[in-house]
């Protein structure tokens, strides 16, 4: 975030340098805490199963963004939302 000057664009951030990587839920907890939001009121958006696993372990809702057909969801559980683009998530905030 510092490298690309994104710190002003987000209220919270968590990278591999900050602690354990996904699928650990620590990043989700840290971002929710620093934003003063309960994990249950948080949506974790990612493009891989570790994003969903981390969010679910933290008690967050999850969204998986993928253009591919996912066939192994039974192995790690379905996300709350499965979308093809971030635009499909906009109605959630409306």
- Distance from C-alpha of 89 to C-alpha of 28, rounded to nearest angstrom: 19
Sign (positive or negative) of CA dihedral 22, 49, 1, 36: negative
- Distance from C-alpha of 93 to C-alpha of 88, rounded to nearest angstrom: 11
What are 14-68's pLDDT values in tens digits? 888 999 999 999 999 999 999 999 999 999 999 999 999 999 999 999 999 988 8
- Distance from C-alpha of 60 to C-alpha of 22, rounded to nearest angstrom: 14
Over range 77-84, report the average pLDDT.
90
Q: Are strands 81-83 and 61-65 parallel, antiparallel or unpaired?
A: parallel
Q: Which domains does the chain have, with CATH numbers?
A: 26-93 (3.40.50.1000)
Q: What does pTM read for this prediction? A: 0.84
């Amino acid at each position: 975030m510092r490298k690309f000057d994104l710190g002003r664009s987000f209220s919270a951030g968590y990278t591999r340098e900050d602690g354990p990587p996904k699928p650990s839920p620590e990043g989700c907890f840290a971002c929710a805490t620093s934003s003063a939001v309960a994990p249950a009121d948080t949506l974790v958006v990612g493009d891989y199963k570790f994003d969903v696993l981390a969010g679910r372990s933290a008690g967050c809702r999850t969204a998986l963004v993928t253009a591919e057909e996912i066939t192994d969801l039974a192995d790690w559980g379905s996300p709350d939302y499965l979308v093809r683009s971030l635009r499909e998530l906009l109605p959630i905030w409306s």
